[in-house]
Amino acid sequence: MSKISRRTFAASTAAIAASATFGFKPASADDAYPTRPIQLICPWGAGGGTDATARIVGVLLEKEFGQPVNVVNRTGGSGVVGHSAISTAAPDGYTLGIITVEIAMMHWAGLTQLTPKDFTPLALMNEDPPGIQVKADSSYKTVKDLADAIKASPPGKFKASGTGQGGIWHLALVGWLKAMGLPPNQVAWVPSNGAAPAMQDLAAGGIDFTTCSIPEARAMIDAGKARSLAIMAPKRAATFPDVPTLKEAMGVDYTTGAWRGFAGPKGLPQPIATKLTASLKKIFESKEYNEFMSSRGFGVVWNDASGYAAFMDKSDAQMGEAMKAAGIAKT
Amino acid sequence: MNALLEASRLIFDPYVLWVIAASAAFGMFVGAMPGLTATMATALLVPVTFFMDPVPALGAIVTATAMAIFAGDIPAALLRIPGTPASAAYTDESYAMSKNGQLDLNLGVNLVFSVLGGFVGVAILIICAPALAEVAINFSSFEYFWLALLGLTCAVFMTSDVPLKGITSLLFGLAVNCIGIDPAAGYPRFTFGSVELLQGISFIPAMIGMFALSELLRGMVHADATGAVIAQRIGNIFSGVFGVFKRYWFNFLRGSAIGVLIGALPGAGADIAAWISFAISKRFSKEPEKFGTGHIEGIVDATSANNSALGGAWIPALVFGIPGDSITAIVIGVLYMKGMNPGPTVFLQNPQFIYAVFIIFVLANILMLPLGWIAIKGGKQLLRVPRNVLLPVILMFCLVGSYAMTNSVYGVIMMVVMGLIGWLMEEHGFPIAPAILGLVLGEMLEQNFMTSMIKADGAFVMFFERPIAATLGVVTLLIWGTMLWRGIKGRPATLSEVAPAP
């Protein structure tokens, strides 16, 4: 990894120089695309799941195009900073980005004006459903035990965590409660700085359960400190085949997930977008991508440009509904 | 055991060893240059480590800081100017020895006891950190809230001569930390609609500004009155060191123990460890009248203490994510950047990195002996590097480093603004360390307070219901009580008021 990184540094310097010298490109260059290094913006920090996904795709895209692809982390602001950087870049195909489920959430929360419509969708490549995790020695053996206990207790007695207030896993909890006919405040949400601290708090006995994704809960599950009771997905995860879906375990048909896909700024020229989607498709089918994703426990899904656009619209509506139910939506 | 093998495999790689050797030389140089500190060495390494894997990145920082803390002793003996603040406690003593014709013995003792003190520090780190992590895995937000508050309390208690200024500095750090998205409710604060400010004040650019840029500004404003280099030839520095060890082995052990303890306390690092162990050495010496005339005894205590403090500071940093000194405050930022979020879980998920840090510490201390010898031999030439070349190069590193942190000019602006603020603060006697700690621990404090309140349904009693939380809470409140009580009585309220002012 260090070798790639050093090369990318040199390349990004070159890219800055290049973009300064050749500010404009004739339109006919679309066929030759790409002729210089591509910048791939990741709105989340180095070392996280989104960064890892961006980097493996970046490496494979580099092989595909023979041009350097530099992953640049523009973090902070709950993802607003990076998503803004992608959408406000010049739509010339030399600045792309990985966009995540938060783009369908943060405009509802009033953090930004950006919506999925401000991008040129290229491909959806990953989705991870939330799981329901309890402490290893918890008395709840199945998700039905837990659900019954939640129903029988006064609102707010049960505490759950997994991410910040109004984050994707909070909405997953609200959606699950709604599907069971319960109000969103039946379980109190304890905001945390991501899934790892929430899992640690679970192991320490500070909260009752978490609703983060299984890959995020994996380290604690493997260490024998936590158990996963169910996942909110249409089918079981390949990496955790023993964990049932909500529908199997208690007959509640509720599914959601955190997704990651690739996009460019709005108004990307059609030939470039088509070429990128085709290359991403090749990467999606490659052995390297699938091996990497399964090693991290990440789920793989595919949607091409138009499918991804429709998927984002659906996700946007679902998130808006859950956020309104949770009382977090401002718009 | 597998993790240990994996760690050795990661370290005994030509590239990593090369990084360690290069950063050792870099650390020696920075430490020996008056005005450049070990913290600055770390801040300047950040942009370089950005492009490395975790192990070489940590290796570079560990090695450079260990070397810098020792190398600070060289100009203290030759010029009567401490190379880093950590050598300030015994600079006069060292210089007096040089004037008495004991330059060789002084430098030999500084080198050998720095190495030995470093070994004590790393030994305690290796023993304590994993055991503490086992305990810390059961910490919930209540314990973390108290730990963060205890850390901030220590920062004021340990580092400021005027407690009021220390608290002001701390509150400034906490206030700046409020900028950005509120960690509990996800609501933007003080962002004025700016997308950049939504990301908050990320602390690495802020720290590069406050530690490196402010230092450059100070160097420019106060033109250095460079003393005359002692004209002695440097001979065999190792002769007589064994005799000193036989006579003062207890001072060495006491100094090292104090060093680890002070290093592990948040906010105080190698410099305060040296002051306090020097003061204790004088207080309990059989011949206190010799102190100040070029006496080796106190130097043994203090030079062991400042190197052992380095290892000590890593204990809370790795186990709780609470920095023990300003160096580990930066290290925590680097750890987050590399996806190894400090805390007990890193011992579960990435034990090989933790072992790698241990091995690097040992290697760095072994390497210090030959490199330190070279640095001493070349000391006079080293001190001749023109400052008008050096300072612009450092400024360039500051700019590149802060840009690399945010990938935008925002980081550079933040670095410059915080550098100016840091400079103004120091010029007016406000310590910087509490502000930095406020910046690093502010989010931890707020987040854990909010989560705890949500879990407790607003009942404060819950903060004292879990046994460890209750103990930490009582200790914190006791320190507050002591400071208030002593303040009312007109006695020195903080520890560094007791020790001579640095």
Q: What is the pLDDT of residues B220-259, one digit of tens each?
A: 777 655 555 666 677 888 888 899 999 999 999 999 999 9
Q: Is A4 within 8 Å of chain B by CB? A: no
Domain containing residue B382: 2-498
**In the prediction, which pLDDT does B502 show?**
40
d(CA A107, CA B306): 51
Specify which of B29-33, B289-293, B367-371 reaches the highest per-range mean pLDDT. B367-371
Average pLDDT over every residue of B188-193: 87
Q: Kindly indicate the confidence band of residue A12, based on its pLDDT and cuts at 50, 70 and 90.
A: very low
What residues pair up with A160 in beta bridges, in sequence order?
A189, A209
Average pLDDT over every residue of B409-418: 93
**In the prediction, which pLDDT does A25 show?**
45
| Residue linked to tokens 């060093």 | B259
| Global pTM value | 0.78
Between residues B252 and A294, the one the model is more confident about = B252
d(CA A126, CA A298): 7
The one-letter amino acid code at B22 reads A
The domain defined by A2-128+257-326 folds into D-Maltodextrin-Binding Protein; domain 2 (3.40.190)
**In the prediction, which pLDDT does A54 show?**
93
Domain A134-250 has CATH 3.40.190.10: yes
Cβ atoms within 10 A of the Cβ of B453, count?
A: 18
B348-B352-B356-B358 Cα dihedral, nearest 10 degrees: 40
**In the prediction, which pLDDT does B493 show?**
62
Above 50 in pLDDT, residue B467? yes
CB B419 within 8 A of CB B213: yes
d(CA B352, CA B331): 17
The whole-angstrom distance between residue A154's C-alpha and the CA centroid of its chain comes to 33
Q: Which residues of B touch A47 (CB under 8 A)?
A: 336-340
**In the prediction, which pLDDT does A20 show?**
44
d(CA B62, CA B84): 16
Q: Where are the beta strands (DSSP E) in chain A?
A: 38-42, 69-73, 95-100, 119-128, 131-135, 158-161, 187-189, 209-210, 226-231, 258-265, 300-303
Average pLDDT over every residue of A143-151: 96
DSSP states along B383-442: TTS-HHHHHHHHHHHHHHHHHHHHTSHHHHHHHHHHHHHHHHHHHTT--SHHHHHHHHHH
Give the CA angle between residues B444, A112, A88 to the nearest 5°.
110
Q: What is the pLDDT of residues A90-106, one digit of tens each?
A: 999 999 999 999 999 99
Above 70 in pLDDT, residue B495? no
Q: Which of A76, A63, A48 is nearest to A4 (CA)?
A: A63
Q: Which of B263, B270, B261, B200 is nearest to B442 (CA)?
A: B200
Above 80 in pLDDT, residue B104? yes
Count how many domains chain B has: 1
Q: Which backbone phi and psi does A32 adopt, to 5 degrees?
A: -80, -10
Q: Mean pLDDT across chain B, nearest whole number?
A: 86
Chain A nearest-CA distance from B186, in A, is 6
Range from B264-278, B383-397, B431-445 carrying the lowest mean pLDDT: B383-397
Average pLDDT over every residue of A325-329: 84
**In the prediction, which pLDDT does A125 show?**
95
Q: Kindly indicate the confidence band of residue A6, based on its pLDDT and cuts at 50, 70 and 90.
A: very low
Chain B nearest-CA distance from A100, in A, is 17
Provide the residue ranges of all domains of chain A, joining segments of one domain with +: 2-128+257-326, 134-250
Q: Which residues of A touch B181 (CB under 8 A)?
A: 77-78, 111
Q: Is A46 within 8 Å of chain B by CB? A: yes
Average pLDDT over every residue of B381-386: 76
Average pLDDT over every residue of B263-278: 86
Domains A2-128+257-326 and A134-250 are alike in CATH topology: yes
In A161-190, the residues whose Cβ lies within 8 Å of chain B are 161, 164-167, 188-190
Average pLDDT over every residue of B351-379: 91
Q: Which of B359, B358, B340 is nearest to B350 (CA)?
A: B340
Average pLDDT over every residue of B377-384: 78
**In the prediction, which pLDDT does B497 show?**
52
Crossing angle of helices A49-65/A287-296, nearest 10°? 170
Above 70 in pLDDT, residue A229? yes
Gyration radius from chain A CA atoms = 21
Above 60 in pLDDT, residue B444? yes
* CB-based contact B349 A156, cutoff 8 Å: no
Predicted-assembly ipTM surpassing the 0.90 threshold: no
Q: What is the pLDDT of residues B43-77, one digit of tens each?
A: 888 878 877 888 999 999 999 999 999 999 998 88
Specify which of B114-123, B149-158, B179-188 reaches the highest per-range mean pLDDT. B114-123
Indicate the residue of B139, B184, B186 with minimum beta-carbon distance to A78: B186
For CA atoms B192, B194, B195, B198, the dihedral sign is negative
Sheet with A119-128, strands from edge to edge, namely: A69-73, A38-42, A95-100, A258-265, A119-128, A300-303
* CB-based contact B186 A51, cutoff 8 Å: no
Q: What is the pLDDT of residues B2-28, one digit of tens each?
A: 788 888 888 899 999 999 999 999 999
Cβ atoms within 10 A of the Cβ of A272, count?
A: 22
Range from A277-291, B205-219, B463-477 carrying the lowest mean pLDDT: B205-219
Q: Kindly indicate the confidence band of residue B311, based on its pLDDT and cuts at 50, 70 and 90.
A: very high
Q: Which residues of B touch A5 (CB under 8 A)?
A: 51-52
